[in-house]
Homo-oligomer: A and B are copies of this chain.
Amino acid sequence: MVEVASFRIERVEILRADGTLAAPLPAWAEDGAELVRLYRAMVLTRVYDTKSVNLQRTGRLGTVASSLGQEAVAVGTAAAMRPEDVFLPSFREQGAMLWRGVRIEELLTFWGGDERGSNWSGPREDFPICVPVGTHAPHAAGVATAFKLRREPRVAVCVLGDGATSKGDVYEAWNLAGVWRLPMVTVVNDNQWAISVPRSAQTAAATLAQKAIACGMPGIQVDGNDVIAVREVVGRAIERARSGEGPALVEALTYRLADHTTADDARRYRDDAEVSARWKEEPVARLRNFLVARGLWDKEREERLLAECTREVDRAVEAYLARPPAPATDMIDHVFAELPPAMAAQRASILRRAAERAERRSEPRGGRP
């Protein structure tokens, strides 16, 4: 019996749950303004999440997935990227999308059930929200292949959940990234739950980071409730990828404090006690404590920030609600670059249906069906 290979998985922790330092700060984090920027982004995300859940509850938005408690994963990841990198989100990375320039109004438009929300003005090459779990990992590999073939120093960054790590297409994409040395970084938002299925029921792997070993790329754990650590570790992975050294997998350990989505009731399957315990580790208070201890933050600034974020979100909500609906033909006019003549009759039917539905709406109740 000879040993032919050996591997180790490490975890990076910087800020402790109480906001004290477990390890030295990275150089960039000595810049207080930068930390405040990260803090602001997390708070904005939380205000947005709260608002969008409320909008759903009051029937003005469809199902939404709050990122409560996981803001550091999204914000830290986005902050580690360059604008010209490409981001491929799943459905819980609003914090990252906002950082990269997707507008709140656009996010609301999407979750409100209108594809125009994904035609955002911001990062034009970023991928839209991916709902089928993990299916965007191969896209990330494709984007990264494009960068590599064009010799562009850019990186494809993909975020997915602990549940997604059980999908074969995710594994296949990682395996390709490994063997083609693609500039692709995957961040696993390991929030311990895939709806009602706990992390322990997804896989017997002791860490999700070690799944990278199967694909010949580095895997590392990071405290996902510490935005400084996330930004640092993801940043290193991204810059390594940018310099041509290939892909990496970052497992960000965090916790889903909210229900899976507004369509879920987590009390059916997990203990409140577990959730309460995890509240002690959440990323926003953690960074705030650190900022306060460093003299970078105080109650007054906190109040100002909250008011500011609330205003920003409220304004976006107003714009969202005021936006005129898309024309009926929107559903057919973008399917192909040019509408095939064979589909002209269907386009006409859509217009006919639209006219009929409008007429029906305008009729008094009890009118024609």
Which chain A residues have a beta carbon within 8 Å of chain B's beta carbons?
Answer: 1-13, 23, 166-172, 175, 178-179, 181, 200-207, 209-217, 221, 246
Interface SS of A by simple majority: mixed
Interface centre among A170, A213, A246 (most CB of B within 10 A): A213
Cβ of A140 to closest chain B Cβ, rounded Å: 15
From A210, which residue of chain B is reached at the shortest CB distance?
A: B213
Contact of A210 among B23, B169, B214, B221 (CB under 8 A): B214
Looking at the assembled complex, report how far the CB atom of A263 sits from the nearest CB atom of chain B, in whole angstroms. Answer: 26
Whether the Cβ atoms of A3 and B9 lie closer than 8 Å is yes
Contact A211 B210 (CB under 8 A): no
Q: Which residue of B is nearest A173, CB measured?
A: B168
Nearest CB on B from A179, distance (A): 5
CA distance A181 to B9 in the complex (A): 23
Question: Closest chain B residue to A168 by CB distance?
Answer: B168
Whether A178 and B206, one on each chain, are in contact in the complex, defined by CB atoms closer than 8 angstroms, is no
Residues of B within 8 A of A178 (CB): 203-205
Q: Is the CB of B167 within 8 A of A5?
A: no
- Cβ of A8 and Cβ of B6 under 8 Å apart? yes
In Å, the complex CA distance between A3 and B13 comes to: 11
List residues of chain B with CB within 8 A of the CB of A12.
1
